[in-house]
Amino acid sequence: MQLGAFKISKVVVVGDLYVGKTSLINRFCKDIFDRDYKATIGVDFEIERFEIAGVPYNLQIWDTAGQEKFKCIASAYYRGAEVIITVFDLADIQTLDHTKQWLEDALRENEPGSTFVFLVGTKKDLVSDAACERIELDAVRLANEMQAEYWSVSAKTGENVKEFFSRVAALAFEQSMLKELEKNIGHVTQIGRGNLISKSLFLLLELFIYAFSGGKGRGHESNSASLTSE
């Protein structure tokens, strides 16, 4: 199967300084947590490898600087994002107010309707369950306005981090397949005698049959797809 065309998706992580963007990425990609703060200068990125339904698939995760003075460097990397993750600190409610602006800046560099948006509250370990629930009322309302999916996580304890990125990978993978399908919708392949079927549709069907007949990747599983992070 020729699946090379959709094997990488770009994910851009934005938000105020000190909200925990680097820590979130490091917990997921390296399974580490550093309590010392080192500001991101400009941008940085990690590539995380998955296997979805037996297909190798990569997420290129861009960590951007929250500091104002680096904003113009970081914004040069927003283009071509399939996923935008807007991050705020559950223990610093002001950072939630700034997420809309971060999202607008990131969306400006991308085609309308071409990105999945997530709103993520970090440092869940620093707030009580009751406080978290109160903040989440506002966060979910804002997420609806932003047409984003809301998640709360802790890079320190690791709570929800794998689950969150599994969801990101599953949605990005699905989006890549649909894009591939749209691109090739005109190209038809003859299957057997007389049956015409889009090559990509055929490919998709093959993939789904494989996925749902137990052809799962190795390693941890998410709610929505079987993923292996290598």
Ligand X SMILES: Nc1nc2c(ncn2[C@@H]2O[C@H](COP(=O)(O)OP(=O)(O)OP(=O)(O)O)[C@@H](O)[C@H]2O)c(=O)[nH]1
Q: Among residues 187, 221, 165, 225, which one has the least CA distance to residue 9?
A: 165
φ/ψ of 63, rounded to 5, equals -95, 120
Residue in 53, 65, 84, 172 binding ligand X, rule: CB under 6 A: 65
Considering beta carbons, is residue 123 or 216 the nearer one to ligand X? 123
Residue 208 is a binding residue for ligand X (CB under 6 A): no
What six digits make up the tokens of 91? Answer: 């223990």
C-beta of 151: minimal distance to ligand X in Å?
13
Q: According to the binding rule CB under 6 A, does residue 19 interact with ligand X?
A: yes
* Closer to ligand X by Cβ: residue 26 or 115: 26
Within residues 104-123, the interface with ligand X by CB under 6 A covers 122-123
Contact status: 162 vs ligand X (CB under 6 A): no
**Residue 201 found at the interface with ligand X (CB under 6 A):** no
Helix-, strand-, coil-residue percentages of the chain, each rounded to 5: 40, 25, 35
- Binding segment for ligand X (CB under 6 A), chosen from 78-86, 135-143, 153-161, 178-186, is 153-161
The helix or strand, by DSSP H or E, that contains position 84, with its residue range, turns out to be strand 83-89
Does 35 help bind ligand X (rule: CB under 6 A)?
Answer: yes
Q: Nearest to residue 15, comparing CAs of 55, 51, 50, 65?
A: 65
CA distance 66 to 79: 17
Report, in Å, the least distance between residue 91 CB and ligand X: 8
Shortest Cβ contact with ligand X: which residue? Answer: 66
44: left (phi over 0), alpha (psi -120 to 50) or beta: beta
Which residue reads 């951007």 in tokens?
Answer: 64
66 counts as binding ligand X under rule CB under 6 A: yes
Cβ proximity to ligand X: between 155 and 207 the closer is 155
Q: State the minimum distance, in angstroms, from the CB of residue 20 to ligand X.
A: 3
Tell me how far CA of residue 80 lies from CA of 3, 109, 179, 201, in angstroms: 19, 8, 13, 24
- Residue pair 155/20 in contact (Cβ under 8 Å)? The answer is yes
Residue in 6, 9, 11, 40 binding ligand X, rule: CB under 6 A: 40
Q: Which of these segments, 32-40, 93-101, 176-184, 195-203, binds ligand X (CB under 6 A)?
A: 32-40
Residues that bind ligand X (CB under 6 A): 17-23, 34-37, 39-40, 65-67, 122-123, 125-126, 154-156
